[in-house]
Amino acid sequence: MMLALRAAAHLAFSPSGRLYRVISLLCVAGIGLAVAALVVVMSVINGFRSEFARSLLRAEPHVTVRAMGRQLGDNDSATAAVLRQLPGVRSVDPYFLQEVLVAKSKRVGGGLFRGVPRDGPFPSATTVVAGRWPPDRPEDIALGKELAARVGAVVGDSVVLATFLTVGEGSALSTPRVMPFRIGALLDLGVFQYNNSLAVADLGVVQSFYRCDGLITGLELSLEDPLASDPLARIVADSLGFPFYATSWRELNAPMFAMLTLQKRALFLILTLMIAVAGANVVSGLTALVSARGRDIGILMAMGVRRKGITLVFLWVGAILGMAGLAAGLLLATGLIALANGTNLVRLAADVYQIERLPLSIQALDLAVVSGTTLAVAVVCTLLPALRASRLLPIEILRYE
């Protein structure tokens, strides 16, 4: 094994063969660039996924419980007691959600009016970018920053909220109701669609506005571990039974996460072809190396090295080139990712991608898959020239030496 490794290093990078050092370095550079491109692209997708999930957790409850075909009410108080007993549940809070129009002067924006307990987990202090929550006055509301910008409002301004809905057993359109509110806070929830549509107020105020005292849309659960929301949602549904159902934040956004997973797999396959192209350079480089190093191969075979040993020597050459390219690619990718994260180089249009900032994230599993794929491609591409080298006859090689 050591003989094969030493011979491989000598054949690939021997100072006596400048041309073949250049070929070897080009092979390493090709593999390195392909690896760097693959790692950076996968880091972009990982970063988008993690940042999108982090933003969603600021704006959405971990698990939502509702009843099919009806609002919840005071007679469902036992439901909240059952949910609080489940393991991993940190809090259970009622909420109310309905469409609303928000207006200031002649500027009007549509949105969602969400009622929450003043001492509940939503909205958190980290989402308040102006004013304060809970507000000084119970009747004050909080607006998403994009919605506030649409109607031209800031903290302290008065806005008018309007609805045609009456919510309850006889939910229907009715004569419009208009009510003035003072803005007590502006929110940045991290996701554009919420910043652009959400108005938040005390639960009692929202119930009074929609004339549905005692009714709520559902219950929102805050968990110790948000990543455990899917199994807990199934436990909640089994515990409560029909007509209740539970939805996790991941289920609500399942199409987006499925798209990201599919995109990551497709890009991995496409960019792996770049590594295969770089592997073709290894084939051509080693073929030239076999022709140039015939004398060395003949000497090794004359000294008693078996054909299997010659094959192993050239497989080690491919492995050395692959490992060198892999190391160079990982170093290049790490530097690019650190530069992008340190300078906030990647900025996104929030109205298109829902988030404004994109941190790049490397995952250990991705690195393992990329490393294994790169080394496998390098070794497989070495097989043909390695077998050709092992079939050379030493008497033919050394005849004219």
Bridge pairing between strands 128-131 and 172-187: antiparallel
Q: Which of 113-117, 314-318, 394-398 has the highest mean pLDDT?
A: 113-117
Please tell me the distance from the alpha carbon of residue 400 to that of residue 57, in angstroms, as a whole number. 75
Please tell me the distance from the alpha carbon of residue 214 to that of residue 208, in angstroms, as a whole number. 9
pLDDT at 74 over 80: no
Task: Return the bridge partners of 16, or none.
Answer: none
User: Which of 385, 383, 334 has its CA nearest to residue 361?
Assistant: 334
What's residue 331's pLDDT?
92
How many Cβ atoms are within 10 Å of 65's Cβ, its own excluded? 23
In the chain, count H helices and then E strands: 14, 10
Phi and psi (nearest 5°) for 70? -155, 165
pLDDT at 9 over 80: no
Beta strand spans in 76-188 (E): 89-104, 107-116, 128-131, 141-144, 158-166, 172-187
pLDDT at 173 over 70: no
Averaged over 15-32, what is the pLDDT? 72
What's residue 13's pLDDT?
54
Torsion angle of C-alpha atoms 331, 333, 337, 340, degrees rounded to 10: 110
Phi and psi (nearest 5°) for 108? -125, 140
Q: What is the pLDDT of residues 365-386, one digit of tens each?
A: 888 888 888 888 887 877 776 6
Averaged over 177-183, what is the pLDDT? 88
Please tell me the distance from the alpha carbon of residue 97 to that of residue 112, in angstroms, as a whole number. 7
pLDDT at 80 over 60: yes
Could you write out the DSSP letters of every residue in 184-243?
EEEE--SSHHHHTTEEEEEHHHHHHHTT-TT-BSEEEEEES-GGGHHHHHHHHHHHH-TT
Q: Which residue has the higher pLDDT, 394 or 72?
A: 72
Q: Which residue has the higher pLDDT, 110 or 280?
A: 110
Domain boundaries, the chain: 2-56+255-396, 69-241
What's residue 300's pLDDT?
61
Least confident stretch, 12-16, 132-136, 210-214, 379-383: 12-16
pLDDT at 309 over 60: yes
Q: What is the pLDDT of residues 318-341, one digit of tens each?
A: 778 788 888 999 999 988 888 888
pLDDT at 289 over 70: no
Averaged over 161-178, what is the pLDDT? 67
Q: What is the pLDDT of residues 225-271, one digit of tens each?
A: 888 888 888 888 888 888 888 888 888 888 888 888 888 888 888 88
Report the SS3 class of residue 299: helix
User: Which of 254, 309, 278 has its CA nearest to residue 374?
Assistant: 278
Averaged over 184-203, what is the pLDDT? 87
How many Cβ atoms are within 10 Å of 70's Cβ, its own excluded? 13
